A and B are shown apart, each in its own frame.
Chain A
Amino acid sequence: MMEKNNSGIKKKLPSTPQNGEEVVASPLKAVRMTVSSPEGPLAAYGPFFLEYALMSEYNLLRKQRLPGLYVVPSAKTPLHWFGVLFIRQGIYQEGVFKFDLNIPENYPDGDCPKLTFTPPVFHPMVNPLTGELEVQRTFSKWRRSSNHIWQVLLFARRVFYRIDTAEPLNEEAATLYDKDLDSFKVKVHECVQSIKEHLYDPCDSDDDHAIAFSPWEETVHGNVKLSILNNRKEEVGGK
């Protein structure tokens, strides 16, 4: 049901990264939690709501036009999104970080989605073994009416610009950052380079929508580049 491609070509520069907690204006204080838990009479419609909620989330995300962020849902389930984050400034400049976003099945009533970097990135908030990003603290309680998935992704992006070392998942990174910024930068650079080297490795996921990189091919990519440079509006589709 999800869109196959992400029209990332049209991303614009955003306004300053916003506070992740600022939400779509919802003046209703008394949101009636009428969507029932699975035991309610409309339980069987759960999947319907779920699917549509996810679709809206995806659309909202697209509307945000977060720069450097590309996301596509998996071909197998809408609860698993593939993404890649390009960091263009700061310490993590040139970083190309692929990630998986896993949305709990009881969305939007469950916990906040999990974001996992593959391969793990050297960052205080990222678990060095699993690559999981620490989002729980920021979105301690996932409020369905005010929290959206794009906020998680925005947070993920922001994490690379504003490094927060409180309660880190990667102790080493945290301490390095606090004490020895230079070596932190060196390590980051190493990490970024190594990721880049492995960028063209074949993807181990069998999902059709998994994000994979391939070397530059003029025939395939040349047109896209041209259109980007010329800032034309037409869709360059179907590659």
Chain B
Amino acid sequence: MSRANMSRIFRRSQSKGNDSSKSLTPPKLENCQNGWKEESDPDKLDPAKVRFDVFCNHWCQIQNTIFKNNSTSGLHRFHSSKVSPDEVQSVINYMRQLVMLLIDEDPPGDGDIGIILKFTNQENLFEKMFVWGEQIGEHAEDMKHELLRSYEMILAQAKQPVLFQDRILNPLLQLLLACWESCSEVLEPQLILLLHQLCVSLTKDQALLEYFFQASPSKGPAKFLLFSLLIPFIHREGSLGQQARDALLLCVSASQEAEHIAKYISESTNLCPVLAGGLGALYSRLPRKLDIQAEHWHCLTDEDVAKTPELIMFLNSLEFCNAVVQVAHPVVSEQLIRYFHDGFLVPVVGPALHQFSAGAWSNFFRKGDVPPNDEITAATAYVELFLKSVTDPRLMKVFLAYICRGWHDNNKIMDSFLTRISSNSKLCLVTMSLMYTLINLNCEDVMMDLVFRYLIPCNHIMASQRRAILDVNYIGSSAHKFLSLIPNFCTSKLVPKFVYSLDSSGSSLEGQVSPRSVHLGERGRVLFQSSQEDLIGDNSLNASRNSILGELEEYNTSLLEYLEDARDGIDKCSRGCQTWSLPYDGVHPPPLMLSPDVDVLRTPSSGGSRLTSPLYTPRHFDGTPFSQKGLRSSESNGRSSSKKGRKRELLADETSSPVQSKSSSPGTLTSTIEEILCLDLGNIKNVDISDVNLADIFQGEKLNILTMEEDFKKKEKTGSNLGFPGSLNITHHKDISVSSDSAFSSTNSPTNDTGGPEKLQNAHRGSSDAIWSNHHEGRRNGSPQNPKHQMEMEQTLRSPISSQSSLREVDEPSVFYMYDSDYETYQGNGQLGTTRECFSDEADEILMALGYDLDKSSPYQERGDSQNFSRLSFTENGFNGDESLTFSQQLQSPGGDTLYSSDSSRTSSPDHKNFRRSLDNGGHDVSGTPVPSKSSQENRKGGQTLLPLTITPRAQYNGSFNSKHMSSAPPYSPVGISRGLPDTGPLLNIIFKKLEGMMQNSLYMNLLLTGIITRMTYYPHPLLRSFLLNTNMVFQPSVKALTQVLMSVKNNLENYAATVSDWDSKLLKAKQYLWARECGQSIQRERSVTLLEGRDKVHARSRSGSQLVTPEKRKTSIGGFFRIGSKRKSALKSSEKHKLAAIGESTSPGSASKAGEYESVKTKNAVYAAVIFEEFLKELAATCQEHAVGLLEDFEQV
């Protein structure tokens, strides 16, 4: 219907509407009777007329009933108090008839409406019904119900544009309004049904939506009733909730085209807060601890989800959020994402991941120990599940950004995860599973944060090797190396299997190859079957060993399957990474360009948009003068806010109250819908929360959140009022780190700082936008962007400082070291107070990022010697082990300036030492510059308590200053370069460390560990690939190569195996167990149990099993092990126990002593480790080879 028509109707109804107030005129009985009389004419019996007449008749009957007692003409009101149930029922029945007739009426086809509809309008039928319904007292509900139902039917089935009739629409609105004010439970389903139908109708017709949108009732809190009515239902379970969500989703998607509706949704409704808050509330209902029986459990599977209704509900809501983000107008989506972050991720997920139960804490005395907390385990598993459930790129982005870069209580969340991996518990398994999920996402930003930013500077290799990064090992020497690391007791070494399973398909290879074996060479000399006795015939083994060996051979996995796996994996990964912006080959991005906080966030999946990454601010606890007083005064003194990170703190602390930190109180989940609704978002004023009743939303259930103590709640509120706006403001802005700007570039005029961190942020945002904007358009193909990007970078680099441009071309290791931006930023400015360029100076930022001195030429040209820098390692200093601490102190300290004067380059190290000493003393700095003010000193001291030790444990791992500290602390010099020994980042460090201890790890731990490593090897990017797979690379002494680690594992295994008496038989049993597990899909549980009861039968069974070339065989690769295993968490419980028992019995000498048990556990672990190790090596070799061959992909795209 066109707008003209609509307005015509509107006007028409308006003219008529004057008299359609609540007081109704007495019915025009004459009309009815006339109509009735006409009926008697025999020749006017056409069906339409008949229907019309019946309609009129019914209506008369109704009116008779309604106005029964209305004999006096002056009375305009119904006399409702004496309405009997029968009367109501009769009215209802008649109504039904009327509705049916109305529905069935066909429009006459000339744009006009049918006579019944006209009549309805004339008579103002619905309004009368509604008004009457309101007034009949105790039957009002029934009437309402009937009206709701009628409307629903009309909307669904009417053939005419019913809703455009004002006289039908208005009563509908009034009805809805009435329901808004009070809606009983009985009415709810019908209401939701109606609303759903309404939404369906609305979305079909944009004009109608507009019309509806404008036809708002004059009273009532919400302009757009629809939302207000639906929102309370979105978190319900069951079909009610589902319908409400669907309806809302329709509305939201309709808003995509209509900007004003989108604005309305974002500004005047509380859809987003409720959604996000609801997530928090639903989360709080999830079981705190998961009852995990199986040893191999490490993530939540579909079965687990199905068993937990709360989880289903949560996932429904999460899915809904996802859907809303996807279909809504960007304004709404962004708002929702922001709420998701601030209302769910930060207050709920963050604390959940760090909650320590009271008891656990006390047991842990040493720093860095991770209390094996069931709750955290559950939380981590949930987070992983959520991660897997989110599909919308924007939502995923904010989620990932939070996980990778978010802070909680001054800990980086990722740091917590990485710390937990080092433990040895269920928590470790779950966390590793989460890491696997993250790595498996093919997300450039995630990989950048986790891995690439430590590899990009290429410190881990000798400078001469940097060209070797691009090498692909065509001759198979890497593969050979890996295979050669197979321990001697494994038969794979001697008897490789190259057998395809019968059902393998999709490989381009099998066209030539018979299913069972690979033929190679004309004479078939290298034909492989499942065993080759002639190769091992020469070994001097006794007969029994031979037989065991022979059996062991049966269990050899086919290398070809690993090859296929590798090919698949690499293929998928390559495809997933097609939209990455950089090839990470050591040349792009150039090592010089490293800035650990480069905001190159983008995900590959949707050719995506750039993440407007929220600033994840470390929340400083109260009690740190630094956080509150220091920065503020520093600002007023014009003290510099040093690095971006400092800037973060600055802003965070300025806006967040200390109480904010309470949000992470242990043991409770803190977000409530009310809290969220109290958020004062920038453009949302006075969000009316009165219409959202928590009790309604959750049907009055008792939630954790509702049972919080009063004072805590209050604190939350106050805290949130201060904190959230601040955080939200911050989060609006791109991560200032785009160019890892130095703090100095932050402001021009120090004194203006206090007034407007926002402004700065905004400015910065603008600049960072500009910088990276070109990056993000259509990055389907990485290559066109690269030159553009490079060009852009170069332009910005060149513009202000032409003299510096030459430095870029210097490709010397020494040049690395001149990029030491924290020092950079101190130069020339005398006191700390002087802040430098306006934050918005993008060129400056980039330059800062690159470590170029804006004020003077780089002092680092002289200091080509890396030694100077290594002496800067703070590990030996006298501080309380908190390296980041010292660094920030340095930043604050006025003495920092002296570090950069170019003439003092030679004396840099003594300066540093002096400096440190001076800091120790809290005295003045080396150069003798008097400390500007006492407050600075205070700040410095205060700063000592600045960052709670968070990451010191990691320092243990590589024994050197962990550059990771740097990235967590504000400064972010090239990671690891000048801070001690080269390093490949915490993730890789931890993984390798665990790998080294493979023999002590449990089976499942090893499976996950090797799974993670293998997944990382699938990345085709040269930096990572060469680091992991290039066995010819020479690394820096402090960096361990994968082959080194594997070699040590091999030695350990071989040494240990020599001490165990019947190693081979144990090995055999382990393999049998694992095989049986894998093939367990085809074996019933009962059968597998019986398998073990007769141990001697096992051999027979498994031998036949191994000859069976079934599809299951494909899953014998390691990935398959744990993929399958996790799915069958419950199915194999008892059988596993049996098997484990079987193996355990065979290994222990029979004594029940603790030592014996320990031994058996140790042996068991070692045996399994050996099995996994062997397979892992094959996997690596296969991956090497597939990478070599895989370059087919590269040039086919050209």
By a beta-carbon cutoff of 8 Å, the part of chain A in contact with chain B is 1-4, 7, 24-28, 31-36, 41-53, 55-57, 59-60, 62-63, 75-80, 105, 108, 144-145, 148
Of the listed residues B468, B475, B520, B522, the one surrounded by the most CB atoms of chain A closer than 10 A to its CB is B475
The CA-CA distance from A25 to B1196 in the complex, in Å, is 22
Task: Check if B569 is an interface residue, CB within 8 A of chain A.
Answer: no
B467 nearest CB neighbor, chain A only: A27
CA distance A185 to B525 in the complex (A): 46
How far, in whole Å, are A108 and B480 apart by their CA atoms in the complex? 14
A44 touches B476 (CB 8 A): no
CB-contact partner of A31 in B477, B518, B1191, under 8 A = B477
In the complex, the chain A residue whose C-beta lies closest to that of B560 is A48
Interface residue ranges of B468-497 to A (CB < 8 Å) = 468, 470-472, 474-477, 479-481, 483-484, 493-496
B residues with a Cβ closer than 8 A to A are 464-465, 467-468, 470-472, 474-477, 479-481, 483-484, 493-496, 498, 508-509, 511-513, 518, 520-522, 525-526, 528, 532, 535, 559, 1032, 1185, 1188-1189, 1191-1192, 1194-1196
Q: How far is the CA of A145 from the CA of B475 in the complex (A)?
A: 7
- CB pair B477–A34 under 8 Å, yes or no, is yes
A75 and B475 form a contact (CB under 8 A): no
Separation of A4 and B510 alpha carbons in the complex (Å):
12
The 10 A-B pairs with the shortest beta carbon distances in the complex, nearest first, are A47-B526, A56-B474, A49-B476, A52-B1185, A47-B520, A56-B1188, A55-B1189, A1-B509, A35-B480, A77-B522
Q: In the complex, which residue of chain B has the Cβ closest to the Cβ of A65?
A: B1195
Q: Report the minimum CB–CB distance from A53 to chain B (whole Å).
A: 6
Taking a contact as CB atoms under 8 Å apart, the answer to whether B508 and A3 are in contact is yes
Does B512 contact A35, Cβ atoms closer than 8 Å? Answer: no
**Contacting pair A79 B494 (CB below 8 A):** no
Q: Which residues of B contact A47 (CB under 8 A)?
A: 498, 518, 520-521, 526, 528
In the assembly, what is the distance between CA of A52 and CA of B1190, in Å?
Answer: 11
Cβ of B474 and Cβ of A57 under 8 Å apart? yes
Which of B522, B526, B1188, B1196 sits near A46, CB closer than 8 Å?
B526
Which of A27, A31, A52 gathers most chain B CB within 10 Å?
A: A52
Query: Are B1188 and A52 in contact, with the CB atoms below 8 A?
Result: yes
Task: Across the interface, name the chain A residue whose C-beta is closest to B476.
Answer: A49
Q: Which residues of B contact A28 (CB under 8 A)?
A: 468, 471, 1032
Within 8 Å by CB of B494, from A2, A32, A44, lies A44
Nearest neighbor of A28 in chain B, beta-carbon distance: B1032
Min CB–CB distance A228 → chain B (angstroms): 17
A27 CB contacts on chain B under 8 angstroms: 464-465, 467-468
Assess the A41–B484 pair: CB atoms within 8 A.
yes
Nearest chain B CB to A75 CB, angstrom units: 7
How far is the CB of A8 from the nearest CB of chain B, in Å? 13
- Whether the pair A105, B521 counts as a contact (CB closer than 8 A) is yes
Expressed in whole angstroms, the minimum distance between the Cβ of A32 and any Cβ of chain B is 7
**Across the interface, do B1032 and A31 meet the contact criterion of CB distance under 8 Å?**
yes
Q: A1-B509, A42-B480, A44-B535 are in contact. List 4 more A-B contacts (CB 8 A).
A: A25-B471, A27-B464, A44-B493, A45-B483
| B508 surroundings in chain A (CB, below 8 A) | 1, 3
- For residue A208, which residue of chain B has the nearest CB? B512
Determine the distance from Cα of A4 to Cα of B511 in the docked complex, in whole angstroms.
10
Give CA–CA (A105, B525) in the complex, Å.
Answer: 10
How near does chain A come to B236, taking the closest CB pair, in angstroms? 53
Question: Which residues of chain A are near B525, meaning CB under 8 Å?
Answer: 105
Closest to A75 in B: B512
Q: In angstroms, how far is the closest chain A Cβ from the Cβ of B481? A: 6
Please indicate the chain B residues that have their CB under 8 angstroms from the CB of A4 in the complex.
511
CB pair A62 B477 closer than 8 Å: no
Asked whether B475 lies within 8 Å of A53 as measured between CB atoms, the reply is yes
Whether A76 and B483, one on each chain, are in contact in the complex, defined by CB atoms closer than 8 angstroms, is: no
B1123 to chain A, nearest CB (A): 25
A residues in contact with B474, CB < 8 Å:
24, 53, 56-57, 60, 148
Within the complex, what minimum Cβ distance (angstroms) separates B51 from chain A? 62
A52 touches B1195 (CB 8 A): no
Q: Give the most central of B464, B472, B481, B520: most A CB within 10 Å.
A: B520
A47 to B521, CA, bound (A): 9
For the complex, give the distance between the alpha carbons of A48 and B1181 in Å: 11
CB distance from A36 to the nearest CB of B (A): 7
In angstroms, Cα B520 to Cα A79, docked, is 9
- Please measure, in the bound complex, the distance between the C-alpha atom of A62 and the C-alpha atom of B1195, giving whole angstroms: 9
Query: Which A residues touch B513, using CB under 8 A?
Result: 1
Inter-chain CA distance A60–B532, complex, in Å, is 33
User: Across the interface, which residues of B come within 8 angstroms of A148, CB to CB?
Assistant: 474
Please name all residues of chain A whose beta carbon is closer than 8 Å to the beta carbon of B1185 when the two chains form the complex. Answer: 48-49, 52
A59 touches B1191 (CB 8 A): yes
B480 touches A49 (CB 8 A): yes
Asked if residues A44 and B484 are in contact (CB atoms below 8 Å), the reply is no
Question: Could you show 17 A-B contacts with beta carbons less than 8 Å apart?
Answer: A1-B509, A1-B512, A1-B513, A7-B1196, A27-B464, A33-B477, A34-B484, A41-B493, A42-B480, A42-B483, A44-B495, A44-B496, A45-B559, A49-B1185, A60-B1191, A63-B1191, A79-B521
A47–B528 CA distance with the chains assembled, in angstroms: 9
Tell me which residues across on chain A come within 8 A of B1191, comparing CB atoms.
56, 59-60, 63
Interface centre among B484, B509, B559 (most CB of A within 10 A): B484
A residues less than 8 Å from B528 (CB atoms): 47
Partner of A53, one of B476, B512, B521, B1032: B476
Instruction: Select from chain B the residue with minimum beta-carbon distance to A235.
Output: B1196
Distance from B1020 Cβ to chain A, minimum over Cβ atoms (Å): 14
Query: Within 8 Å CB of A50, what residues of B?
Result: 520, 526
Residues of A within 8 A of B480 (CB): 34-36, 42, 45, 49
Given contacts A41-B493, A45-B483, A47-B528, contact A78 B520 (CB under 8 A): yes
The answer to whether A49 and B479 have CB atoms under 8 Å apart is yes
Contact B475 A108 (CB under 8 A): yes
Q: Are B520 and A52 in contact (CB under 8 A)?
A: no
Among A33, A41, A44, A105, the one with the most B-chain Cβ atoms within 10 Å of its Cβ is A44
Q: Closest residue of chain A to B474, judged by CB?
A: A56
Residue of chain B at shortest CB distance from A41: B493
Contact status B493-A42, CB under 8 Å: yes
- Tell me whether A77 and B484 are in contact (CB under 8 A): no
A3 to B472, CA, bound (A): 20
Alpha-carbon distance between A25 and B472 when the two chains are bound, in angstroms: 10
Q: Which of A32, A44, A47, A48 has the largest count of B CB atoms less than 10 A from its CB?
A: A48
Residues on the A chain within 8 Å of B1188, using CB: 52, 55-56
Residues of B within 8 A of A35 (CB): 475-477, 480
Supposing A27-B468, A34-B477, A63-B1191 touch, asked if A48 and B498 sit within 8 A by C-beta, the answer is: yes
Residues from chain A with a CB closer than 8 A to the CB of B511 are: 4
Are B481 and A34 touching (Cβ within 8 A)?
yes
Specify which chain B residues have a CB less than 8 angstroms from the CB of A63 in the assembled complex: 1191, 1194-1195
Distance between Cα atoms of A169 and B743 in the complex (Å): 75
In the complex, the answer to whether A51 meets B483 with C-beta atoms within 8 Å is no
A144 pairs with B559, CB closer than 8 A: no
Closest Cβ of chain A to B67, distance in Å, is 78
With contact pairs A35-B475, A52-B479, A59-B1192 given, residues A44 and B465 touching in the complex (Cβ less than 8 Å): no
CA distance A34 to B485 in the complex (A): 12
Which residues of B lie under 8 Å from residue A56 when comparing CB positions?
Answer: 472, 474-475, 1188-1189, 1191
Q: Looking at B474, B481, B532, B1185, which has the most chain A CB atoms within 10 Å of its CB?
A: B474
Residues on the A chain within 8 Å of B535, using CB: 43-44
Q: How far is the CB of B107 from chain A (nearest CB, A)?
A: 52
A6 to chain B minimum Cβ distance, whole angstroms, is 12
Whether B496 and A25, one on each chain, are in contact in the complex, defined by CB atoms closer than 8 angstroms, is: no
**In the complex the two chains form, is B481's CB within 8 Å of A25's CB?**
no
Q: In the complex, A156 Cα to B1192 Cα: how many Å?
A: 24
A3 to B470, CA, bound (A): 25
A38–B495 Cα gap in the complex (Å)?
Answer: 14
Residues of B within 8 A of A24 (CB): 474
Cβ of A67 to closest chain B Cβ, rounded Å: 15
A33 to B518 CA separation, bound complex (whole angstroms): 26
Query: Which residues of B have CB within 8 Å of A55?
Result: 1188-1189
User: What is the CB-to-nearest-CB distance from B773 to chain A, in angstroms, rounded to a whole number?
Assistant: 30
Chain B residues with CB under 8 Å of A79's CB are 521-522
